[in-house]
Amino acid sequence: MKTALTIGDITVHRVVEQQAPFTDPLEFLPTLTPELLAENRSWLQPEALDRATGKLVLCFQSYIVRTPHHTVLIDSCVGNDKDRPARPLWHMKTDATYMRALAAAGFSVGDIDFVMCTHLHVDHVGWNTRLDNGRWVPTFPKAKYIMADRELEHWTKREKDNAASVPWITDSVLPIIAAKRARIVKSDFVFNEQVQFIPTPGHTIDHYSVLVGRSGDDALITGDMIHSPLQGKYPDIGMMSDYDSGQAGLTRRQVFDRFCEEPTILCATHFPAPSTARVRRWGDGYKFVAAGG
């Protein structure tokens, strides 16, 4: 499986933790109707919609962006040893898949200079920390973790009000703050001339995506501004954990409109392998076409 692409003097690597038929599409995309699903089944199957189970196939992965100056890991997936009883596939898991994938891409935890958190959902912050003698410590020993200010404020308040409702904030975000590893920025932060954030709010309050490269030769690491290619054809279809699905739909339309005539490669976090594509117009919506070649 091809897991790296080259953008000028930057390489982008995929580090996959899981890819599996994950959830019932009608539950995951609450405004999707059985009729609309039936109408689209043929092009979604088998990659994005599993034939046997009827579930949406989702990938859980990090992107590593290697520039001449830095190694940046974007979104840290699910993690190990985390208490997630609501999700059997994630609950207290101890597998070596993620660390093996990191090594296979040519990196060790000590190579990561920055971890960028597009948003602070459970499956994007898990490997921020690892368990060490009963304590949660930063997994990437020298990394700074970059988070958007209003995103962090929102989740910190929720944790304070009801910690049991957001255990991933307690075990995977707050220990980073306590270890003084967080760098808090605006969601339009310019990291350097080849790495900048694009605010993509809606899925969460202050979600960002990461644009890397130079105009004409670039890639957008989406984070969760989209989960399924079906939300390209129908940008207004929201996802069950959205903070504001209306805003998420507007974000998708804006971002896809901006890039649909560009060579920009979208690196979609949850799209099944190969996860990378260009976006093009498709009727009133958008489709994703192979980025190879």
Residue 44 three-state SS? helix
Q: How far is the CB of 124 from Zn ion (least distance, A)?
A: 6
Q: How far is the CB of 152 from Zn ion (least distance, A)?
A: 15
Nearer to Zn ion, 223 or 285 (CB): 223
Q: How far is the CB of 131 from Zn ion (least distance, A)?
A: 23
For CA atoms 197, 198, 200, 206, give the dihedral sign: positive
Looking at residue 120, its amino acid is: L
| Residue 154 in contact with Zn ion, rule: CB under 5 A | no
- Tokens describing residue 246: 């209306």
Q: How far is the CB of 128 from Zn ion (least distance, A)?
A: 14
Nearer to Zn ion, 105 or 248 (CB): 248
Specify the pairing of strand 10-23 against strand 276-282.
unpaired
Looking at residue 185, its amino acid is: V
CB–CB of 290/275 below 8 Å? no
Nearer to Zn ion, 218 or 224 (CB): 224
For CA atoms 260, 262, 267, 273, give the dihedral sign: positive
- Site track 214-233 with Zn ion (rule: CB under 5 A), x = hit: ----------x---------
Tell me, by CB under 5 A, how many residues bind Zn ion: 2
Residue 216 CB: number of other CB atoms within 10 A? 9
Q: Which one of 20-28, 68-76, 118-126, 176-184 is the stretch in contact with Zn ion (CB under 5 A)? A: 118-126
Nearer to Zn ion, 195 or 205 (CB): 205
Please count the residues of the chain: 293
Distance CA 279, CA 198 (A): 17
Nearer to Zn ion, 7 or 16 (CB): 16
Work out which of 121, 154, 233, 252 binds Zn ion, going by CB under 5 A. Answer: 121
In the complex, the residues that contact Zn ion under the rule CB under 5 A are 121, 224
